[in-house]
Structure formats: C-alpha cells, structure tokens
A and B are shown apart, each in its own frame.
Chain A
C-alpha cells in the first residue's frame, strides 16, 4: 500500500476579504496522480496556489509528514514542490534553454545539463528551439516548456493547473501520456487541476470534486468516473 505524501487539513484561502476556500481536506498518496475537478470559480487554482504559499492561507499542509504552512514559496520549492501555473508558466524573454536552467535554479547537483538534454529528447521541438525566446513559441510548445521547466526541479510533488488549456485535443492526449510516463518512471506525485475531466479521470488514481470552496466528493478516480452526478456535471453524458 502506498502512504500519504501530501496531506491537507482545513485549508482556507482568501484574496483580501474574499474567502475562496472554506477549509478543505484532501490527500495524495506517494507516487500517485490525483485530480481536482470543479466548475469555474470553485477554487481549484487557488488550492494549488495555496499549497505554494502564493496566496494567504490558513490550515495545515503536510508534505512527507513535514508541515509547509508558514513557509515561503522559495522554501516550499526547495522542499521539492514544482508548480505549472495556468497559461503562462514560462519566462517569455528568456531562451528555451535559459527557461530550463531557471527551472533548476535551486538545484546544486551536477546533473542539470544532462537533465536539459533529456527533456530535449522527450520534447524534441524544445531542442530545436533552444536558443529561441520562450515567448516566440506556440501555445502548445510553451505548455511543454512550462512542464519541462517544472520537472527540471526534479520535484517530489508536481502541481499542474489546467495543462490542457488552449491545446488541440491530440496534443493534450500526448501531453497526458507524457505525464503518466513521467509519473511511472520517476515516481513523481502529481496533483492536477483539469477541465478535461474525462482525460484527467483516465490517468488519475484519486479524484476530488471542489464546489464553491468546499470538497463535495472524493474517491478513487474510476469510482468517481462512474458516479452519476460527476458524469452528468463534468463528463457531459
């Protein structure tokens, strides 16, 4: 049996006076992929931002048993949490290669160069455009770069916010295949927020449904995929 890696208890988050998360509980087991589903405005993005201390929060976030609450974003990144934010996760004025180097900013080991070459092999288009600025890449290429940038950290936990946003269906499928492969090979625990519920439930082990800042449903991904309410609300059949 796998053990709990990320454990969140009573997580609240607010932008100024507007409370977005009203104390949610969830967990992700080590080496698993969990998905958070929910309508627009349910607080999915805020959940991921709260885990990285990018928004003011209350509650407990434990990673591998260690408390993250109260730590700065820079320190949480040093604990191995990589975050691909929605849309623009790259540095548009830096070259593709510099983006990848920036992704390894907190690493001090000697394998950074080898990792860059490895991602060029995984995403050949990035290798072809290594000297181009990230801003000149297409949307799909930028999303690949943002994910490769995040993986340059060699994260123990990867947070992905709408990785399929704005991508063609074929590219989205290829991207999720890559993510599953990375999850299997490196054992990276992943927490994915995704609009494409069918695809996300297909690759995930665990699933949560967020409604208006509260956890409405949770369970194994295949069970949620079979749930009538989830099916109607998020899968559309």
Chain B
C-alpha cells in the first residue's frame, strides 16, 4: 500500500481523476482524433518504405510545404478549406515528383544509405525554405470539418472533427489498398519493392514508378498535415513533431503495413492522451512516442503487422 501510494504520489495521480468516466471517454475521443492524424502521416511513410525500403525523412517536409500551400489557398486566397487541401495535395505531389527526379533518381535505388542521407538533407532544406518564405510566426489553419459535436456525454464530446479525421484515414487506407492490389501501377509499385532486378526485367520503368510513389506519399502527407495542424498551430517545425509520433505509429504497426500504420497511429494517439491526462505527463508527450519506438524495436522489431520476409532457399 505504501509503495502504491508513493507511486501515485510521484505521478500525482488522483483517484478522482481515475474514477471519472467522462474524463476517460473524453480523452479516448481525443486520442482517436490525434491517432487518426498520426496514422495519416504514418501512411505516407509506409507508402515510401514499401516501395524503397527506407524511411523518407523528407516526407514530413513535403507535407509541411503542402500544409502551407493549403493555408495560402484557403486563408489568403479564400478557397473553401477542403478544396484548398485538395489543391495543396496536387501541388505538393508535383513538387515531390520534381524533388525525386532531380535529387533522388541519380542515386542507385538499391543503395539505401546515401538515399537516407539525401532525404535528411532535403528535410533541412525544405523546412528552412518554408521558414524563409513564410516566416516563423505561427498561423492557424481552419479544419476541413465543421465545428461542434453531434454526440456529447458531459465533457466527453465526439466532435465532427474526430469523426472526419477517422473517416478520412479509413478512406485513404481503403483507396490505397485498392490502388496497390487492383491496379497495374500498384503491381509495378509492389514488384519494384520486392525485387528491383526482376522488376526491370519484366519491363517496369523503375524511376517513374518510384516518382509516382513520392507524389502519392506527398499527397497523403499533405492531407495528414491538414488534419493535424488545426489542432496545433502552423509553423515551420510543426511537422517534425508530428513526424515523431507518426514514426512511432509506423514502427508500432510495422513499417510495411498500411493497416498497421492506422492501428499504430490510433494506439499512439490513445496512449499519448491517456498517459498525459492520468499521469500528468504533458511535458513528456513526445517521450511517450520515443518510448513506443524503443519498446517496439526491443520486443518486436517488425512491429505488430509488419512482414518478416519469408524466403525459402
């Protein structure tokens, strides 16, 4: 009892909080909402990982650029937010294809390390460029979804935004699944990731296939960013923080699993909100993400749904 009491004391856990059902439910909903946003950015990471076998650090920066474009289109040009986000997705895809063509394609696709370094460099360059062009002051981007909550229990609200975030993520996963499993470009995409040499030998043009992957991932990342940013404020380092949660989500789910990215995102979102509320750890929110990455790497490096490569000899 003494030990328990001291543990509760250290973390400042009050039994009032723990027995407050409404608070649990409120944080559960918030967790789902945050989780959906992490999941959508994690999906972009998984897309690129599946095709290239490496984590593309520039992904967060391309999403950042996309979100700034969405801000310009909606707040400054007056487009409806949803339309502005779609335009920004198209624009960031175009930038991603350009970046891939100029900075990535000259490197052999099977030499992962130089490519990872290049994406890290791109992250720094794009983030700085965004800062130089748009400045470092914070801005707020409105949400694509209406405010208000159709369902309420006391302080626990299931808001339109939570519903919208979740719906968007499930729609994206569904569309990606269909694209990868039912279309020719999806087959090319998976063939390139499975065996680069054989992909060439069946006539797949590897460069454009990877360029398409970059474009698609940038579009998804931009969409994810447009879900995240209304909860926070838009400034040049915002996606870096989101990227850490999304990396944790992707690592937890398994880096090559889209379903894993969604479940990983939701778990990280829930863990973050529940831990922060009940353990009073708001300073350590980022640390929970890093802790998830560490534990996954130690206990189950392939994540919950990642595939161990089966290959008989």
Contact = CB atoms under 8 A, between A and B. Distances in A.
Given A101-B187, A102-B191, A105-B184, A92 B201 contact: no
Contacts of B202: 77, 102-103, 105-106, 149, 153
Given A54-B200, A105-B184, A74 B205 contact: yes
Contacts of A93: 190, 193-194, 307, 309
Contacts of A106: 202-203
Nearest to A134: B194
A133 B203 contact: no
Given A93-B194, A101-B187, A135 B201 contact: no
Interface string A59-83: 0000000000000111001100011
Nearest to B313: A139
Contacts of B191: 91, 94, 102, 105
Contacts of B280: none
B98 to A, nearest CB: 22
A136 interface: yes
Contact of A92 (B184, B200, B311): B311
30 contacts: A54-B200, A54-B201, A74-B200, A74-B204, A74-B205, A77-B201, A78-B203, A83-B201, A85-B197, A85-B201, A88-B198, A89-B201, A90-B195, A91-B190, A91-B191, A93-B309, A94-B191, A98-B187, A102-B187, A102-B191, A105-B188, A106-B203, A135-B310, A135-B311, A135-B312, A137-B312, A138-B312, A149-B198, A149-B202, A153-B203
Contacts of A72: 205
A105 B313 contact: no
B198 A85 contact: yes
B310 A133 contact: yes
A190 interface: no
A98 B311 CA distance: 16
Given A77-B201, A91-B198, 9 more contacts: A54-B200, A74-B205, A88-B195, A89-B198, A94-B187, A102-B199, A136-B312, A139-B312, A150-B201
Interface of B: 184, 187-188, 190-191, 193-195, 197-205, 307, 309-313
Given A77-B201, A103-B202, A94 B190 contact: yes
Interface of A: 52, 54, 72-74, 77-78, 82-83, 85, 88-94, 98, 101-103, 105-106, 133, 135-139, 142, 149-150, 153
Contact of B187 (A77, A83, A92, A105): A105
Contacts, number: 85
A131 to B, nearest CB: 12
B310 A136 contact: yes
Contacts of B199: 91, 102
Residue among A54, A93, A138 with the highest chain B CB neighbour number at 10 A: A93
Residue among A73, A103, A136, A142 with the highest chain B CB neighbour number at 10 A: A73
B312 A90 contact: no
Contacts of A73: 200-201, 203
Nearest to B181: A98
Contacts of A94: 187, 190-191, 194
Residue among A78, A98, A139 with the highest chain B CB neighbour number at 10 A: A98
A90 B203 contact: no
A91 B188 CA distance: 11
Nearest to B206: A74
A55 to B, nearest CB: 11
Contacts of A103: 202
Contacts of A139: 312-313
A74 B190 CA distance: 17
B268 to A, nearest CB: 26
Contacts of B194: 91-94
Given A136-B310, A138-B312, A139-B313, A92 B203 contact: no
A156 B168 CA distance: 48
Contacts of A133: 310
A74 B188 CA distance: 13
Given A101-B187, A102-B187, A105-B187, A135 B309 contact: yes
Contacts of B307: 93
Contact of A90 (B190, B198, B205, B310): B198
Residue among B202, B310, B311, B312 with the highest chain A CB neighbour number at 10 A: B202
Residue among A91, A136, A149 with the highest chain B CB neighbour number at 10 A: A91
Contacts of B312: 135-139, 142
The 9 closest A-B pairs by CB, nearest first: A77-B203, A106-B203, A91-B194, A93-B194, A135-B311, A135-B310, A105-B202, A73-B200, A102-B191
Contact of A91 (B195, B205, B310): B195
Residue among B188, B199, B203, B204 with the highest chain A CB neighbour number at 10 A: B203
B10 to A, nearest CB: 47
Contacts of A85: 197-198, 201
Contacts of A135: 309-312
